[in-house]
Chain A
Amino acid sequence: MAHSGMRGLSVFISDIRNCRNKELERIRVDKELGHIRTRFKSEKGLSFYEKKKYVWKVLYIYMLGYDVDFGHMETLSLISAPKYGEKQVGYIATSCLLNENCDFLRIVINSVRNDIIGRNETFQCLALTLVGNIGGRDFAESLAPDVQKLLISSSCRPIVRKKAALCLLRLYRKNPDIINIDGWSDTMAQLLDERDFGVLTSVMSLLVSLVSNNTDAYWNCIPKCVKILERLARNQDIPQDYTYYGIPCPWLQVKIMRALQYFPTIEDPNTLKSLLEVLQRIMMGTDVVKNINKNNASHAVLFEALALAMHLDAEKDIMSQCVALLGKFIAVREPNIRYLGLENMTRILLVTDVHDVIKKHQTQIITNLKDPDISIRRRALDLLYGMCDVTNAKDIVEELLQYLNEADFAMREELALKVAILAEKFAPDLSWYVDVVLQLIDKAGDFVSDDIWHRVVQFVTNNEDLQPYAAAKAKEYLNKHVLHETMVKVSAYLLGEHGHLLSRRPGCSPKEIFAIINEKLPTVSTETIAIILSTYAKILTHTQPPEPELQDQIWSIFKKYEGYINVEIQQRAVEYLALSKKGVSLTDILAEMPKFPERKSALLKKTEDTESDTAEQSALRLRTQQKASDALVVTDQRTANGEIKAGQLSPVKLPNQNMNVNSEEQTTTNGALDTVDLDPTLSTDLIGDLLAIEGPPSISVPTEQTPVSGLDQETDLIGALALSTVDEQSNSIKPIGDIEEWFQALCIKDSGVLYEDIYIQIGLKADWRAHQGRIILFIGNKSTSSLTSVQALVLPPSYLKMDLSLLPSTIPPRAQVQCCLDVINICPSRDTSVLDFSYRYGSVMIEAKLRLPVVLNKFLQPISISPDDFFSQWKSLSEPPLKVQEVVKGVKTLSLPEMARLLSSVQLRVTPGLDTNPNNLVASSTFHSESIHAMLCLLRIETDPSDRTQIRMTVASGDPTLTFELKEFIKEKLIIIPNARPVPSPTSLQTQNPVLPAASNDDPGAMLAGLL
């Protein structure tokens, strides 16, 4: 191995490979990091070679997933190294380890610029690569002119120019102002004359990016693009290097066709004619062949040609050719081509009216729904969804319902949503719609969101003809033995409202309906109990004249729930009981629900919202999306005129609404004020309001829930207990792990988990600079449905200024959002700030009060101090309140090194040897705050080897509050706290009780002691 320049690196990699498990790997990595850290820190300058070796190792460790928070300066310093090997690792590591917002990068801008304008081409390449990979706005402003020069320079080699082109692209994305469009469009046209295909490919990428931002300016490039494409398609003088499996530079062909898709039309008839000819040639001349790589390449070009043809809305015969080809593709064996065939068929549907042609392939597409590859199944589902219309809705929806039984877990939610949407959009008749949704709830209740069943209720309420049918269906389902709870909800609701319409049918008397619902009552959640109670009240209303037996039964249930632990249920029971005793007037109060105002389906709205576009969307997709959302509105006639203004969306507050609604409304507001904030544009929330079925049961107890950590809860143990049993739902969500433990870990570390339960994980990363800090919270939704009403609130204690960035109120499934908290420390304190975090999963509200690890030691910066300085400071801070001493008892039994480690972990630099008594520890640090700026703190701990449980501690600083707070803070760290509660134990309160004998006068320890 002697000839290998970096033996150390190879040995290290080999060691890592030999680690049998992650734990051993971590140990090995820690050892290496420790070594590297020491080497980097040692005063003796490292040679460039050594730095190079260590930086490669750091990069390797970083890749293994370990955070390496040092060595950035060393990495950056390699950029200005004279030799290639060192410079190279400097550049490569910098582009992996740092991001554009990193302040360090500014340091190297000059070195990078020197390399770019220098004469060494290999250095130019390295520098361009760095800028192209991470260049941010700073780079864009200072380097863009130099990069432009390289791109158009005739003396530069292609290898430099192609990188300059892509580098410019990156800088342009960061700051479009760097390119002056006026002159640049001509330059671009000239660049398209480039003979080198590497440069040309890069230039074409640059063009795509420029055109996507501003199509008007680059018209002049169209003819040249078409020329190049023609040359490629005809395979005219293409260098061998750029022929890939016999296909002339497929990437360049693809890029050209991508660029052309950004122009709305091609006006020049001659250019358009040549282009269509080329497209025709590509479509005719591509066959599925044996060589898989050749296949991929030729079809990459073909699919791009199809996309371009669709974009140009080419003549009918080209379009029908496209469809014919796609029809062929979705039937081939080769899975990639089948996948893309399905995908493009979905796209073509959206740009032209080819429904009828595609319907011929329906059976084939359904076959793809059973493919072993989930990617293909998803595309087939998308296509079926896209091609569904009134004529084939029944077939497709029924096929999908059947598929629901065998579909992957991962797809079921999407599938359920799609079925619900299709059923709503294309229902040939409403009874079919009700059938489909009830089947859906029956088969996949877990995946049916409240939106879906709320929508059924809306339809049924608004269509009188439908009511008996829906009620009968509901009863049928209730007869089933095993039932999803959502089905109980919807059935109970429908039977409450419309059950009386069935009263003449056998088995449907009020009594029988009551009995069948009542069977489910013991097994359902509070949310459903609330609905069922309303149903009972309705049953009573509709039973005129009253049946005494039924009345007694229902009343006894109301009575039973009068004392129920959930306030919402309790209130309903009390009110319904009182109301139902009013006799005939009950009929008015508990009359049927009025029609819902016509409104846009929340489901359809949701689907439109999710189709948000990204910056890089190709023109075609943008267009298809516009068409798609138009299509949704136009085809859905029921909802097309259903768009109503927010003002109309508050029927609950209108005086002519019946009493029932009003009382419900009151209930809601009694429970909590939060419900008033519900988004008025979402119809489902409105139903929630109307029926009071959604929010209140869980919102009604908005105070501290179980996830509250330590302090708050224990102060009012009884209160907390009572509360936690009140709301079963919230109670069931417990953090996975110990909040206090996470907090304690974060007090020492700067990144880690702050909170985690089954739905959510909150990670935290903090960065501290003197008295300022920035905490980033990473809030990840672990579940497969959205978390809503996400709220974070920080009440900063008086000693901190805190600024929390906005948090989106919804976190989509499996998504992570970030939230930034800026902190400024004003003065020393041991208080902690609390983050009030809450979110809603389905109808369950989860709240957590989380202490934030903004603790005193975050503002400490360890400082090494010479004995002379130490003693002069120590002397000058001679007495309380600047210097205080305390004898602390009940200390954890720690060895001296353990204690030293503990002090280092809270940023106190222990200086061994400063105190000659080996049983003592002396440490120093700087505390940063806005009021007192940087303040030196000194600490001395004297231990008694014969009694490890007590120490004498002396703390000194130039500020009395700081001295006191720091003393208490360290004390908390050292003493044994029952239940890990940071409350000073009573024993430690005894002060000023020296236990250690004074030593002789020339001993610095004695000096320290004597000075007090």
Chain B
Amino acid sequence: MIHAVIVMNTEGKLRLSKFYNYKSPEEQPELIRRVYGALCRRPENVSNFVDSADIFGSGTQLVYKHYATLYFVFVFDNSENELAMLDLIQVFVETLDKCFKNVCEVDIVFNFNKMHAILNEIVFGGQVLETSSDEVMRAVEEITRLEKTSTNPISFVPKSVSGRFGR
């Protein structure tokens, strides 16, 4: 199963984390820190796999993808296929891209609530739920529609506005 999904930037700032095996609030930052420690040392053009037995326990490994300023990380055990996990990251990112029209870090920072909703349509309780990004998009659009119909909609922060916050 998938143990965790982590999105962080290249400076180690966490943008999204979801643990499918409960981790206490004390453990979480430490795990994130160690994942970052393992990733930031890795040069470009190496494999996407990192042994994470010393972080998440024996039999686990993590696969990550590095997009611009972001790391997308899936931690999983040996019941999953490594490359399939890598593909799933791609599905997740492609979905975000469709959602935010060329997704960038700022979108993710300000719409972290949306991120949770999207991830929930892809990974469910540590299992792959949906692999078609079009199908995920349909579900997410429905959620957005529902949010809007309830009186106080959560809409995306438009880029023009979020940009003003600067980094």
**Interface status of A5 (Cβ within 8 A of chain B):** yes
B128 contact set on A, CB distance < 8 A: 201, 205, 251, 255
Closest to A297 in B: B87
A68 contact set on B, CB distance < 8 A: 25
Asked if B86 and A616 make an inter-chain contact with CB atoms under 8 angstroms apart, the answer reads no
Asked if B152 and A49 make an inter-chain contact with CB atoms under 8 angstroms apart, the answer reads yes
Asked if A5 and B131 make an inter-chain contact with CB atoms under 8 angstroms apart, the answer reads no
B1 contact set on A, CB distance < 8 A: 616
Complex Cα distance, B85 from A296, in Å, reads 10
Q: Measured between C-beta atoms, what is the minimum distance from B23 to chain A in Å?
A: 9
Asked if A618 and B79 make an inter-chain contact with CB atoms under 8 angstroms apart, the answer reads yes
Q: Which of A60, A208, A255, A300 contacts B87 (CB 8 A)?
A: A300
Of the 9-residue stretches A10-18, A27-35, A436-444, which lies at the interface with chain B? A10-18
Q: Measured between C-beta atoms, what is the minimum distance from A663 to chain B in Å?
A: 43
Asked if B50 and A375 make an inter-chain contact with CB atoms under 8 angstroms apart, the answer reads yes
Q: Which of B16, B27, B81, B134 contacts A241 (CB 8 A)?
A: B134
Complex Cα distance, B110 from A170, in Å, reads 31
Q: Which of A5, A133, A251, A612 contacts B88 (CB 8 A)?
A: A251
Asked if A300 and B129 make an inter-chain contact with CB atoms under 8 angstroms apart, the answer reads no
Q: Measured between C-beta atoms, what is the minimum distance from A743 to chain B in Å?
A: 18
Complex Cα distance, B131 from A94, in Å, reads 25
**Interface status of A510 (Cβ within 8 A of chain B):** no
Q: Encode B47-78 as 1/0 by CB contact (under 8 A) with A.
A: 11111001101110000000000000000011
Q: Which of A249, A250, A617 contacts B79 (CB 8 A)?
A: A617
A63-B112, A293-B87, A297-B87 known; A616 and B46 CB under 8 Å?
no
**Interface status of B150 (Cβ within 8 A of chain A):** yes
Complex Cα distance, B12 from A64, in Å, reads 11
Q: Measured between C-beta atoms, what is the minimum distance from A972 to chain B in Å?
A: 29
Asked if B14 and A63 make an inter-chain contact with CB atoms under 8 angstroms apart, the answer reads yes
Of the 9-residue stretches A82-90, A497-505, A825-833, which lies at the interface with chain B? A82-90
Complex Cα distance, B114 from A13, in Å, reads 14
A132 contact set on B, CB distance < 8 A: 124-125
Closest to B142 in A: A122
Q: Encode A705-744 as 1/0 by CB contact (under 8 A) with B.
A: 0000000000000000000000000000000000000000
Q: Which of B14, B130, B132 contacts A65 (CB 8 A)?
A: B14
Q: Which of B51, B116, B125 contacts A375 (CB 8 A)?
A: B51
A778 contact set on B, CB distance < 8 A: 26-27
Q: Encode B117-148 as 1/0 by CB contact (under 8 A) with A.
A: 10010001111111110110001001100110
Asked if B154 and A5 make an inter-chain contact with CB atoms under 8 angstroms apart, the answer reads yes
A1-B161, A254-B84, A293-B87 known; A122 and B143 CB under 8 Å?
yes
Q: Measured between C-beta atoms, what is the minimum distance from A75 to chain B in Å?
A: 14
Asked if B149 and A84 make an inter-chain contact with CB atoms under 8 angstroms apart, the answer reads yes
**Interface status of A338 (Cβ within 8 A of chain B):** yes
**Interface status of A927 (Cβ within 8 A of chain B):** no
Asked if B155 and A765 make an inter-chain contact with CB atoms under 8 angstroms apart, the answer reads no
Q: Measured between C-beta atoms, what is the minimum distance from A871 to chain B in Å?
A: 42
A938-963 contacts to B (CB < 8 Å): none
A252 contact set on B, CB distance < 8 A: 131
Asked if A373 and B46 make an inter-chain contact with CB atoms under 8 angstroms apart, the answer reads yes
Complex Cα distance, B51 from A18, in Å, reads 34
Q: Which of B16, B24, B143 contacts A63 (CB 8 A)?
A: B16
B54, B81, B112, B134: residue with the most chain A Cβ atoms closer than 10 Å: B81
Closest to A818 in B: B24
B14 contact set on A, CB distance < 8 A: 63-65
A3 contact set on B, CB distance < 8 A: 153, 155
**Interface status of B17 (Cβ within 8 A of chain A):** yes
**Interface status of B20 (Cβ within 8 A of chain A):** yes
Q: Measured between C-beta atoms, what is the minimum distance from A615 to chain B in Å?
A: 9
Q: Measured between C-beta atoms, what is the minimum distance from A214 to chain B in Å?
A: 16
Asked if B22 and A163 make an inter-chain contact with CB atoms under 8 angstroms apart, the answer reads no
Interchain Cβ contacts within 8 Å, total number: 226
Asked if A254 and B81 make an inter-chain contact with CB atoms under 8 angstroms apart, the answer reads yes
Q: Measured between C-beta atoms, what is the minimum distance from A614 to chain B in Å?
A: 5
Q: Which of A13, A59, A84, A167 contacts B110 (CB 8 A)?
A: A13
**Interface status of B157 (Cβ within 8 A of chain A):** yes
Asked if A166 and B58 make an inter-chain contact with CB atoms under 8 angstroms apart, the answer reads no
Asked if A375 and B47 make an inter-chain contact with CB atoms under 8 angstroms apart, the answer reads yes
Range class of the B interface residue count: 35 or more
Complex Cα distance, B119 from A96, in Å, reads 13
Closest to A298 in B: B83
Closest to A131 in B: B125
Asked if B117 and A376 make an inter-chain contact with CB atoms under 8 angstroms apart, the answer reads no
A10-B157, A258-B81, A375-B47 known; A159 and B87 CB under 8 Å?
no
A37-88 contacts to B (CB < 8 Å): 49, 52, 56, 59-60, 62-68, 83-86, 88
Asked if A170 and B152 make an inter-chain contact with CB atoms under 8 angstroms apart, the answer reads no
Q: Measured between C-beta atoms, what is the minimum distance from B163 to chain A in Å?
A: 11
Q: Measured between C-beta atoms, what is the minimum distance from A160 to chain B in Å?
A: 11
* A interface: dominant SS: helix
Q: Which of A100, A198, A251 contacts B135 (CB 8 A)?
A: A198
Closest to A83 in B: B150
Q: Measured between C-beta atoms, what is the minimum distance from A55 to chain B in Å?
A: 10
B32, B50, B91, B125: residue with the most chain A Cβ atoms closer than 10 Å: B125
B45 contact set on A, CB distance < 8 A: 335
**Interface status of A814 (Cβ within 8 A of chain B):** yes
Complex Cα distance, B136 from A242, in Å, reads 11
Q: Measured between C-beta atoms, what is the minimum distance from B160 to chain A in Å?
A: 11
A867 contact set on B, CB distance < 8 A: none
A293 contact set on B, CB distance < 8 A: 87, 90
Complex Cα distance, B130 from A252, in Å, reads 10
**Interface status of A539 (Cβ within 8 A of chain B):** no
B126 contact set on A, CB distance < 8 A: 170
Asked if A303 and B132 make an inter-chain contact with CB atoms under 8 angstroms apart, the answer reads no
Q: Measured between C-beta atoms, what is the minimum distance from B71 to chain A in Å?
A: 15
Q: Encode A961-1000 as 1/0 by CB contact (under 8 A) with B.
A: 0000000000000000000000000000000000000000
A122 contact set on B, CB distance < 8 A: 142-143, 146
Asked if A614 and B78 make an inter-chain contact with CB atoms under 8 angstroms apart, the answer reads yes
Asked if A813 and B54 make an inter-chain contact with CB atoms under 8 angstroms apart, the answer reads yes
B42 contact set on A, CB distance < 8 A: 373-374
Asked if B58 and A614 make an inter-chain contact with CB atoms under 8 angstroms apart, the answer reads yes
Closest to A60 in B: B112
**Interface status of A763 (Cβ within 8 A of chain B):** yes
Asked if A13 and B109 make an inter-chain contact with CB atoms under 8 angstroms apart, the answer reads yes
**Interface status of A543 (Cβ within 8 A of chain B):** no
**Interface status of A169 (Cβ within 8 A of chain B):** yes
**Interface status of B151 (Cβ within 8 A of chain A):** yes
Asked if B26 and A765 make an inter-chain contact with CB atoms under 8 angstroms apart, the answer reads yes
Closest to A167 in B: B125
Asked if B124 and A5 make an inter-chain contact with CB atoms under 8 angstroms apart, the answer reads no
A148-174 contacts to B (CB < 8 Å): 159, 162-163, 166-167, 169-170
Q: Which of A88, A129, A303, A617 contacts B59 (CB 8 A)?
A: A617
Asked if A170 and B125 make an inter-chain contact with CB atoms under 8 angstroms apart, the answer reads yes
Q: Which of A88, A129, A241, A371 contacts B147 (CB 8 A)?
A: A88
Complex Cα distance, B42 from A100, in Å, reads 36
Q: Measured between C-beta atoms, what is the minimum distance from B108 to chain A in Å?
A: 11
**Interface status of A748 (Cβ within 8 A of chain B):** no
Complex Cα distance, B153 from A59, in Å, reads 18
Closest to B167 in A: A17
Complex Cα distance, B147 from A614, in Å, reads 41
Asked if B28 and A65 make an inter-chain contact with CB atoms under 8 angstroms apart, the answer reads yes
Q: Measured between C-beta atoms, what is the minimum distance from B41 to chain A in Å?
A: 8
Chain A to chain B: the 10 pairs with minimum beta-carbon distance, closest first: A300-B83, A132-B125, A373-B46, A99-B22, A65-B29, A335-B47, A83-B150, A616-B79, A14-B165, A5-B152
17 more A-B residue pairs beyond the given contacts A4-B157, A84-B146, A198-B131, with a C-beta to C-beta distance below 8 A: A10-B162, A49-B151, A49-B152, A84-B150, A85-B150, A85-B154, A129-B120, A129-B124, A133-B20, A135-B125, A159-B139, A241-B134, A258-B81, A336-B48, A338-B47, A618-B78, A751-B26
17 examples of A-B residue contacts, CB within 8 angstroms? A6-B154, A13-B110, A85-B152, A86-B150, A122-B143, A129-B120, A133-B125, A166-B127, A244-B87, A300-B87, A335-B45, A335-B46, A336-B82, A373-B43, A614-B58, A616-B78, A618-B78
